[in-house]
Amino acid sequence: MSQLKYAVETVGLQKTYVTAKKLPGVMGGIKSLFSTEKTLIPAVKGIDLQITPGEFVGFLGPNGAGKTTTLKMLSGILHPTGGTATVLGFEPWRRNQEMLKQISLVMGNKMQLWWDLPARDGFRVLKELYEVPDAVYAKRADRLIDILDLKDKVDVAVRKLSLGERMKCELVAALIHQPKVVFLDEPTIGLDVVSQKRIRDFLRDLNQTEGTTILLTSHYMQDVQELCDRVVVIDHGEKVFEGTLDLMAAQFADSRRVRLTLSQPVENLETHGKVVLNEYPVVVFEVLRQDTARRTAELLQALPVVDVAIEEVEMDEILRDLFTRTAA
């Protein structure tokens, strides 16, 4: 893998679904038996990706943007209708056994473990499927189970586990063969904040200690902000941004926030600018990015300030604005 320039690369990757359009009514149903009108639904429209070995990349977009479809093509589940892709040097849809032994796909709303079996039994089945040597399996399984605090859970039937416990078991199952590339589709969906934090810590450690290349989709910006080196944003099947979160904030957020702590209450704060929060002693003003220095100086001069902080707009808000722009 060290000889590869990119662990994952796509050029003009496309996926278009073909569906049959059914005419309404009984006569429409009868006509559909003899002639069917086809409807083309483009899900992914020519996406270019380059992910280097060991990178942790966020893959963002609204529902229906094409994120899951892209991950399914990269993991070999779906065949593209256009463009090219390579994962560890292999074309994923050819399902080469050497490639399959080095990748993994985790989907937050799908399970690969058996519902009525204890998770440990599922791990052993996957060990055999991936041909993991006994000694390697024992050491790796014990380490993963210990890190994710699953010692008293892996011998319980999967159906009796909580959502967070099942998700952690799914991660162990996906990583038991020590894949070089991991595709994560909403791995923290529906989990409480404690489980989310434990899984984020685990994924960060996995990326840093093993050099695992990870492509993550998530609607929780906390996941992305804590884990990802950079992000790729898609909307309606097209890439609309690629770069760091700081660059995205600079490029798409026209304003910043000036957070002030006051020594005494002040009336009519609105006369000093746009107030987005007023909870004494804290007040937050929204200012144009290019005017940040000047406006901050004016506020410090006009108000009884004991502390000041310059903050970026929340990433969720920036993304909403970005998606609104691309939709327009």
C-alpha 46/C-alpha 237 separation (Å) is 8
C-alpha 231/C-alpha 254 separation (Å) is 20
Residues 209 and 298 in one domain: no
Residues 134 and 260 in one domain: no
Residues 148 and 211 in one domain: yes
Is 29 inside a domain boundary?
Answer: no
pLDDT of residue 199: 87
Is 101 inside a domain boundary?
Answer: yes
Is 57 inside a domain boundary?
Answer: yes
- Closest of 179, 1, 190 to residue 75, by C-alpha: 179
Instruction: Look up tokens 């952690």; give the residue.
Output: 168
pLDDT of residue 29: 66
Residues 243 and 273 in one domain: no
pLDDT of residue 1: 43
Is 199 inside a domain boundary?
Answer: yes
pLDDT of residue 37: 74
pLDDT in tens, the chain (328 residues): 447 899 999 999 999 998 877 767 777 666 666 667 788 889 999 999 999 999 999 999 988 889 999 999 999 999 999 999 999 999 999 999 999 999 999 987 677 888 899 999 999 999 999 999 999 999 999 989 998 889 999 999 999 988 888 888 999 999 999 999 999 998 887 788 888 888 899 899 999 999 999 999 988 888 999 999 999 999 989 999 999 998 988 888 888 999 999 999 999 999 999 999 999 999 999 999 999 999 999 999 999 999 999 998 888 888 887 887 666 5
pLDDT of residue 162: 87
The domain total for the chain is: 2
Can you read off the two tokens belonging to residue 104? 């993994």
Range of the domain at 293: 254-312
Residues 244 and 282 in one domain: no
Residues 165 and 261 in one domain: no
CATH of the domain at 269: 3.30.70
